[in-house]
Amino acid sequence: MHDIRLLRDQLDLVRDAMRRRGKLDELGPLLDRAESLERDRRSAITELEAQQARRNKLTQEVGQLRKAGADATALMAEARAAGDAIAVLEQRRSEADAAVQQMLYELPNITLPEVPEGGESANTVVRAWGTPREDGASIKPHWEVGETLGIIDLPRGAKISGSGFIVYRGAGARLVRALMNMMLDIHTDEHGYEECWVPLVVNRASMTGTGQFPKFEEDVYAITGEDLFLIPTAEVPVTNLYRDEILEIGELPKGFCAFSACFRKEAGAAGKDTRGLLRVHEFDKVELVRYATPETSLDELERLTGHSEVILQRLGLPYRVVLLAAGDTGFSSAKTYDLEVFAPGVGKWLEVSSCSVFTDFQARRANIRYRPAPGEKPKFVHTLNGSALAFSRIIASILEHWQQPDGSVRIPDALQPYLGRAELR
RNA sequence: GGAUGGGUGGCCGAGUGGUUGAAGGCGCACGCCUGGAAAGCGUGUGGGCAUGAAAGUGUCUCGCGAGUUCGAAUCUCGCCCCAUCCGCCA
């Protein structure tokens, strides 16, 4: 969510930001109305407050008269009239307010200057690590290896839940557990994150705080009969840990890592990259969340992205870091790096992490502030998060990149102690 | 699910219709004191919005919403949340 003052004072800047996202056709009309919506809101406030001031004054005089035992009937009538006027103005104010609020909820964040404008085709690879295998033709896709090895059971996942729900079995189940432990150990022991274990079910305020709601409510699973929702990412509960709180400057930057299952409807995505583990309704992920000051948040994004990269390096998986173009950058994000791993069996780069800085966009929604110095006014923090990493696609990558000619799969050294074996066969 | 008790400022905690935005305490800031610190003493200190160049002024805010009233933190109704007990249960 933006500061309304930005739309008031720098509408052109907002308009240009929407253009760079390729959203001007969609959001231009909304922006055209912004000025009049905001003007309405402010004139409603001004008139309302004038009446309120008048009534407050009358009311006080009534009190004094009555205390003195005098007759206050005339003043009381006048105050009542002011009250009636206030009721009307209040209605107008709340309508104008809601209109502005709704507009603010619809507008995505403004991407930073270094983010290329345009859509997905303008994404740029900023660096790469490792060497992708080129013998893809001889490599079986992960769903075949997984089935052969008896570690992934897609048919039974579909039977008990539906397409897009995975059953891991035997060493596959243990692989999930191993990945969780390895990632969390590295982030806590080496990168200094505080580990936390959060609810998978959150309320509406939390979903609104991180930007999922109101715009993307149809993308998440809701609990019938309750105003509760399954999280699409641990970003939601972890970022909302400090919703409506004021942090002390000494607490920043602050970093959390959390393992969680993630639930996504993925409606409308049918047919695209849906084989095997590539796009599923429920997957596991270790998430990193950081709270920072505006001064350091950009550096924090680099740091956070680096933390995610460490995991890929330990797993020996070749990857590239992609700076997303404005049009491909998520609604709440100001700048996003995707980490993509090459999966030679399917011949594709798989997005296994998305690391973003949200500037104050989420903090304003979730009302997360910090006090820059003792006695100073609170300011909004900057929030960041990144996957480190999403399991299902990592498992797919491991099964393909580390696949041996005989169909077995070598386990990366760093993972071996956690899995308790050096290969899957 | 049932019962009871609660939701007040950064935190704790008074306050049952009229200068109460809110006593007191903690914390924090500044000053005094001190060789320096602690303690002690003094002063100050919520957040949002509108307006204004600023100082300031106005307004809202005591979980949320509606109602009663000239006037609500305070009375009424509905809702939400928290705690405890009972029930159920991994």
Is the minimum distance from the CB of A22 to strand B below 7 Å?
no
CA of A227: nucleotide with nearest C1': B80
- Is the pLDDT at A372 greater than 90, yes or no? no
* Residue A115 belongs to some domain of the structure: no
**Parallel, antiparallel, or unpaired: how do β-strands A319-323 and A228-230 relate?**
unpaired
Catalytic residue chosen out of the listed positions A106, A117, A144, A351:
A351
Q: Which chain B positions have some atom within 7 A of a protein CB? A: 10, 18, 28-29, 44-45, 47-51, 58-60, 69-71
CA of A78: nucleotide with nearest C1': B70
What pLDDT is stored for residue A355 in this prediction?
Answer: 98
HEC profile of A363-399: HHHHCEEEECCCCCCCEECEEEEEEEEEHHHHHHHHH
A393 as an active site residue: the answer is: yes
The tens digit of pLDDT for each residue in A396-423 reads 999 999 999 999 999 999 999 999 999 9
Which tops the pLDDT comparison, A100 or A181?
A181
**Full domain range(s) for residue A133:** 120-424
Q: Are residues A9 and A154 in the same domain?
A: no
Is the minimum distance from the CB of A192 to strand B below 7 Å?
no
What is the C-alpha to C-alpha distance for residues A289 and A304, in angstroms, rounded to an integer?
A: 8
Q: Are residues A319 and A234 in the same domain?
A: yes
Query: The domain spanning residue A383 has which CATH number?
Result: 3.30.930.10
Torsion of CA A164, A169, A172, A176, to 10 degrees: 70
Catalytic residue chosen out of the listed positions A20, A55, A279, A290:
A279
- Boundary of a domain, candidates A58, A76, A106: A106
A8 as an active site residue: the answer is: no
What is the H or E stretch that residue A74 is in? helix A73-106
CA–C1' distance A202–B1 (Å)? 22
Closest to A349 in 3D by CA, of A404, A397, A286, A282: A397
Q: Are residues A129 and A102 in the same domain?
A: no
The tens digit of pLDDT for each residue in A282-298 reads 999 999 999 999 999 99
Closest to A214 in 3D by CA, of A107, A348, A356, A337: A107
CB A362 within 8 Å of CB A211: yes
Q: Are residues A94 and A66 in the same domain?
A: yes
Q: Are residues A309 and A277 in the same domain?
A: yes
Work out the mean pLDDT of chain A and round it to a whole number. Answer: 93
Q: Name the one residue in this structure whose structure tokens are 């709180």.
A: A245
Q: Hey, how many other C-beta atoms are within 10 angstroms of the C-beta on A168?
A: 21
Catalytic residue chosen out of the listed positions A264, A290, A303, A369:
A264
What is the C-alpha to C-alpha distance for residues A131 and A318, in angstroms, rounded to an integer?
A: 5
Question: What percent of chain A shows pLDDT beyond 70?
Answer: 99
* Residue A179 belongs to some domain of the structure: yes
Is the minimum distance from the CB of A377 to strand B below 7 Å?
yes
Is the minimum distance from the CB of A79 to strand B below 7 Å?
yes
- Is the pLDDT at A4 greater than 70, yes or no? yes
- Is the pLDDT at A113 greater than 90, yes or no? yes
A356 as an active site residue: the answer is: no
What pLDDT is stored for residue A270 in this prediction?
Answer: 58
Instruction: State whether the Cα torsion A287-A292-A297-A302 is positive or negative.
Output: negative
Q: Are residues A320 and A357 in the same domain?
A: yes
CA of A64: nucleotide with nearest C1': B18
What pLDDT is stored for residue A269 in this prediction?
Answer: 60
CA of A245: nucleotide with nearest C1': B10
- Is the pLDDT at A272 greater than 70, yes or no? no
Query: The domain spanning residue A23 has which CATH number?
Result: 1.10.287.40
Q: Are residues A257 and A295 in the same domain?
A: yes
Q: Are residues A416 and A319 in the same domain?
A: yes
CB A110 within 8 Å of CB A326: no
* Residue A112 belongs to some domain of the structure: no
CA–C1' distance A101–B65 (Å)? 19
Beta bridge partners of A337: A323, A355
Closest to A346 in 3D by CA, of A275, A270, A269, A266: A275
Q: Are residues A213 and A72 in the same domain?
A: no
Helix (H, G, I), strand (E, B) or coil at A114: coil
Helix (H, G, I), strand (E, B) or coil at A105: helix
Q: Are residues A47 and A138 in the same domain?
A: no
Mean pLDDT throughout A38-64? 91
What is the C-alpha to C-alpha distance for residues A102 and A94, in angstroms, rounded to an integer?
A: 12
**Parallel, antiparallel, or unpaired: how do β-strands A282-292 and A348-357 relate?**
unpaired
Mean pLDDT throughout A54-66? 90
Is the minimum distance from the CB of A58 to strand B below 7 Å?
yes
Q: Which of A27-41, A44-58, A63-77, A273-287 has the lowest mean pLDDT?
A: A63-77
What is the C-alpha to C-alpha distance for residues A338 and A266, in angstroms, rounded to an integer?
A: 19
* Residue A211 belongs to some domain of the structure: yes
Give the Å distances, CA to CA, from A398 to A124, A333, A342, A370. Answer: 25, 29, 10, 41
Burial grade of A24 (CB within 10 A; 0-12, 13-18, 19 or more): middle
- Confidence class for position A249, pLDDT limits 50, 70, 90: confident
Return chain A residues 23..42 having CB < 7 Å to nucleic acid strand B: 42
CA–C1' distance A253–B39 (Å)? 34
Q: Name the one residue in this structure whose structure tokens are 């909302």.
A: A240
Mean pLDDT throughout A68-89? 88
CA–C1' distance A97–B19 (Å)? 31
- Is the pLDDT at A31 greater than 70, yes or no? yes
- Confidence class for position A271, pLDDT limits 50, 70, 90: low
Is the minimum distance from the CB of A312 to strand B below 7 Å?
no
Catalytic residue chosen out of the listed positions A20, A364, A365, A393:
A393
**HSE-up of A23 (CA within 13 Å, CB side)?**
22
**Parallel, antiparallel, or unpaired: how do β-strands A194-196 and A254-263 relate?**
parallel
Give the residue nearest to nucleotide B69 (CA to C1'): A80
- Is the pLDDT at A281 greater than 70, yes or no? yes
Instruction: State whether the Cα torsion A410-A411-A417-A420 is positive or negative.
Output: negative
CA of A39: nucleotide with nearest C1': B50
Is the minimum distance from the CB of A364 to strand B below 7 Å?
no
Give the Å distances, CA to CA, from A122 to A99, A118, A326, A350. Answer: 34, 6, 8, 18
Complex ipTM: 0.88
What pLDDT is stored for residue A72 in this prediction?
Answer: 84
A354 as an active site residue: the answer is: yes
Number of compact structural domains in chain A: 2
Q: Are residues A33 and A126 in the same domain?
A: no
**φ, ψ for residue A183 (rounded to 5)?**
-65, -45
A5 as an active site residue: the answer is: no
Q: Are residues A253 and A394 in the same domain?
A: yes
Q: Which of A98-102, A181-185, A385-389 has the lowest mean pLDDT?
A: A98-102
- Neighbouring residues of A78: CB distance < 8 A, sequence distance ≥ 6: A58
- Boundary of a domain, candidates A106, A137, A164: A106
Give the Å distances, CA to CA, from A136 to A131, A133, A185, A300. Answer: 13, 7, 32, 36
Q: Tell me which long-range contacts A261-264 makes (C-beta under 8 A, separation of at least 24).
A: A261/A200, A261/A285, A262/A231, A262/A232, A262/A233, A262/A234, A262/A390, A263/A200, A263/A220, A263/A221, A263/A230, A263/A231, A263/A232, A264/A219, A264/A220, A264/A232
